[in-house]
A and B are shown apart, each in its own frame.
Chain A
Amino acid sequence: MEVKESPDELAEIFLTLGFPADKMNDKYLDLEITPNRGDCLSVLGLAREYAAYHGIKLKKDFAELKPTLRKSDFIDIRRPAQKDIWRYSYLIAEGGPTGESDGTIKERLKLIGLNSKNTIIDLTNYLMHETGQPLHAFDLDKIKGISINYARQGDTIKLLNNQTTKLTEENLVAYDGETPIDLFGICGGGKPAVDKDTKRILVQAAAIVPSAIRRSSKASGVVTPASYLYERYVDYDLTLRALGEAAKRLRAGGWQIGEVVDITHELPAPKSLELMPGDYRRITGLVTNEENIAAKLAGLGFASAGGSSYTVPSWRAEDVKTTESIAEEVLRLDGFNTIKEEPLSSAKKEPRYEDYRLGARAALAKDGFAEQYSYSFISDREALAGGYKKEDLVEIANPLSLNFQYLRPSLLIGLIKAALANPWINDFKMFEIGNVFLKNIETEKLGMISTRANDIKFGDVVKITPGSDLGRFFRVKRSLYFCEMDAGSYKGSADTGAYINDAVYQTISKFPPVVSDISFVVAENCNEEEIIAAAKNDNRHILIAEIFDVYRSRKIGPGQKSIAMRLIFEDTKKTLTAEDAEEYRRQTIELIKKNYHAQVRG
């Protein structure tokens, strides 16, 4: 295929076809291929897509190698394996030499991360990536016959990479007598491998049911480019085409082609699907005609089957099974960006405060709590420290690590850890609404934690003192107060509006902050939010500025109020010194004095 576009333009074309580029340079594009498009895990597959996009034909014709026989005495595919092997084709070649591959082959293999071995192995790898058909070559002088079946439990195979793998009844295996010589569809065995002395080869190309290879790969733990392809479906009509290409190159390399055998079991029947302009309109909202549908589908290999029916080509057999999916093929070529917006009929719903417990969350924020979201997992040791019995807990079978072994039965552990994430702040309270888990019950709870006993008014209060079991486990430095209840039992409700803002994140320094308080008296009509904003804008080292107390008294006098403000200073580049902090504090005090005529109290 001749490509006229730049790499960027080519990437854009493949994006519109459904293959975003992960990365690229001027030598290659790395495209994301979804699991339904096994046919595009090859140059041939992608070239087909490109050709369809441009409405042109492929330049290269992968003509089938004509078989000389439809059965073989050399190959025996046993009954249990037959239902999973659609087709087994092979050629025999003699002569050699098996030397070193030429520069272009080596370079291209290197680009896709493969090492060059010898002309035959390189050829099978190259053609697998070019056509999408895995090929494997055996040194014919090293084997007496091939029998393919599900393995005997306990057999082992030594693979090409010298790894020895235990086999089970889930593995399709080629045997030479009693010896496994190929983890079929996945990886060849070391014994009959082709080397520089090889003079006779058998090149096999098989079409295999995807689930068989998936089971085999999972059972053996071996994953290869071949198994990856098979799991995603390899066209059952590709074997003789890939062998045709192999034969061409073998002949050019001085080899003589002997027998060509094609054994088929029950091949999947080609399917026809209907797509009328009416269907297309119903699905996409777009108007088109029969000519466009037929032309676009023809370009992708969907031949007309009369009327509005089209035959699904063999390489799309696993993917295209419904009218919607064939419509998607036309839409892909016409372009998803051509879809015209169609409004849904007008219908408003009133969001309820119970929705996502928004009303409750806002009420707690109004009451001065900061909202926390904690992880859902706790560790074995945390469970113990919390006094939970393991048989009551939901256990994870495949945790990320031992820190994530159980699902939380309560919000307690998460909120203690959140509290401990704030050693610099003396006084705070947090809430969390989230799901907790006991053996068969998932409940939504509301949990609250505070440095002050007064804040924790509901249900059972848990006091976590430094000397308590929990306190010692978490190395709590000062007492914390916690309570928890069913989220639905909390009846507070407020409007979220006041607690939704546009604030943009300011990077938190990895160096410790300095917390500093200032108090001042200002006129009653001074806007607190404004003062905070002014302080922050004045100094980028102020990460947080918040007012933690406002009061009026006879001593302060009428028309005035006393404000206590807490500042958290930080420097992203270093640890703040006492002098730095003092300087910033002074700067803020000056600003407030100047702009708000404040009397600073300390």
Chain B
Amino acid sequence: MPRNHKFPKGRLHPLTQTLSRAIYILADMGFETIEGPEVTSEWNNFDSVLVGKNHPARDTQDTFWTTDGRVLRTHTSAMQVPAMTELGKKPPVRIIVPGRIYRNEATDATHEATFYQLEGFAIDKNINMGHLVWTLKTFLGSMLKTDIEMKFYPHHFPYVEPGMEVMIKWRGKWLELLGSGLIHPNVIKNMKLDPVVWHGFAFGVGIDRLMMLERGIDDIRLTYSGDLRFLKQF
């Protein structure tokens, strides 16, 4: 009689599980997945999305630089313009970019220097805030498997106008969850598209954060610890 070699059961990391669900849910909404490099140019990471050299926003995203002048991407938004230029995508598009990003900040239970983000953007002739709100409500509702209460409020990012943050009510508390907005006309121009014709929205969500909410994990550092007492729980 055969000896079974498939034990103990293998596991997908909870980050992969969260990303996998997100990819499937968004695929259902017409979004294709692409990826990009973690080490990129200053132009891709900052200038292409209007975070100029003197912009105070560069402070809020403290950055790792390589000795040869490149940047460890601080957000997956760094792929927006390359997707439409280097990768040659042509509108209308619906694209998501999952990926590892880097922030030069001190680590603690809720902050890491390395973590995952999911960028989503859509470009078409007629895209407005209503489409963005629908996309976010549908996506988050499916991800969190519940009719969650959401609050939308204005927020500034250099690459979107209007810019918007979303808060969700989770276990009785309001939590900031993601940033979004209509893609700034100058970013559309950087994509070599005519902003009079083409409009878009974009959003970015922290996957580690989402995973921690879903699973009740209180320390982000566990994610990367390699501790099987963590990995084998999922």
Contacts and interface: CB of A to CB of B under 8 A. Distances in A.
Contacts, number: 303
Contacts of A372: 13, 226, 231
Interface string B93-115: 01000101010101100000110
Contacts of B148: none
Interface of A: 15-18, 20, 34-37, 210-211, 214-215, 231-232, 281-286, 322, 324-325, 327-328, 331-332, 336-337, 339-352, 355-356, 358, 361-362, 364-377, 394-400, 404, 407, 414-415, 417-422, 425, 428, 430, 434-435, 437, 442, 496, 499-501, 503-508, 513, 543-544, 546-554, 566, 568, 570
A347 B98 contact: no
Nearest to A214: B54
A434 B100 contact: yes
Nearest to A420: B226
Contact of A370 (B10, B65, B154): B10
A372 B154 CA distance: 37
Nearest to A419: B226
B211 to A, nearest CB: 10
The 8 closest A-B pairs by CB, nearest first: A418-B226, A285-B130, A342-B130, A18-B154, A347-B30, A365-B10, A34-B156, A328-B162
A356 B20 contact: yes
Contacts of B153: 15-16, 18, 20, 336-337
A17 B155 CA distance: 9
Contacts of A231: 56
Contact of A366 (B6, B17, B102): B6
B129 A400 contact: no
Given A351-B24, A396-B66, A442-B39, A508 B102 contact: no
16 contacts: A15-B153, A16-B153, A34-B155, A331-B162, A342-B133, A352-B33, A355-B33, A365-B10, A365-B11, A371-B10, A376-B100, A418-B225, A422-B226, A546-B7, A554-B1, A566-B8
Interface in B195-231: 199, 215-218, 222-231
B23 A356 contact: yes
B192 interface: no
B67 interface: yes
Given A505-B215, A508-B222, A397 B65 contact: yes
B83 to A, nearest CB: 15
Given A285-B130, A332-B154, A500 B17 contact: yes
Contacts of A400: 104, 106-107, 113
A505 B59 CA distance: 34
A378 B158 CA distance: 33
A400 B112 CA distance: 11
Interface residues on B, range: 35 or more
Contact of A341 (B130, B158, B229): B130
Interface string B21-56: 101100111111101011100000000000000111
B91 to A, nearest CB: 13
B162 A373 contact: no
B151 A337 contact: yes
Nearest to A319: B156
A420 B64 CA distance: 28
Contacts of B9: 365, 368, 546-547
A375 B224 contact: yes
Nearest to A570: B229
A486 to B, nearest CB: 15
Interface of B: 1-13, 15-17, 19-21, 23-24, 27-33, 35, 37-39, 54-57, 60, 63-68, 72, 94, 98, 100, 102, 104, 106-107, 113-114, 122, 126, 128-131, 133-135, 137, 151-156, 158, 161-165, 176, 182, 184-185, 199, 215-218, 222-234
Nearest to B19: A356
Contacts of B31: 349
A17 B154 CA distance: 6
Given A211-B54, A505-B215, A407 B4 contact: no
Nearest to B107: A400
A499 to B, nearest CB: 4
Nearest to A371: B13
Given A358-B23, A365-B9, A421-B226, 16 more contacts: A282-B199, A283-B182, A285-B129, A286-B129, A336-B129, A397-B64, A397-B67, A404-B113, A437-B39, A499-B12, A501-B17, A501-B234, A505-B216, A505-B217, A505-B233, A552-B2
A428 B228 contact: yes
B27 A351 contact: yes
A369 B10 contact: yes
A322 B185 contact: yes
Contacts of A214: 54, 56
Contact of B16 (A343, A371, A435): A371
A327 B199 CA distance: 15
Given A404-B113, A547-B7, A551-B3, A336 B23 contact: no
Contacts of B161: 322, 324-325, 328
A18 B107 CA distance: 28
Given A337-B151, A349-B27, A435 B133 contact: no
A281 B221 CA distance: 45
A358 B17 CA distance: 9
A341 B23 contact: no
Contacts of A394: 39, 66-68
A6 B20 CA distance: 44
A289 B131 CA distance: 21
B7 A500 contact: no
Nearest to A500: B17
A285 B10 contact: no
A121 to B, nearest CB: 27
Most buried by B among A349, A352, A366, A543: A349
A504 B30 CA distance: 30
Contacts of A327: 162
B7 A373 contact: no
A544 B23 contact: no
Nearest to A328: B162
A514 to B, nearest CB: 12
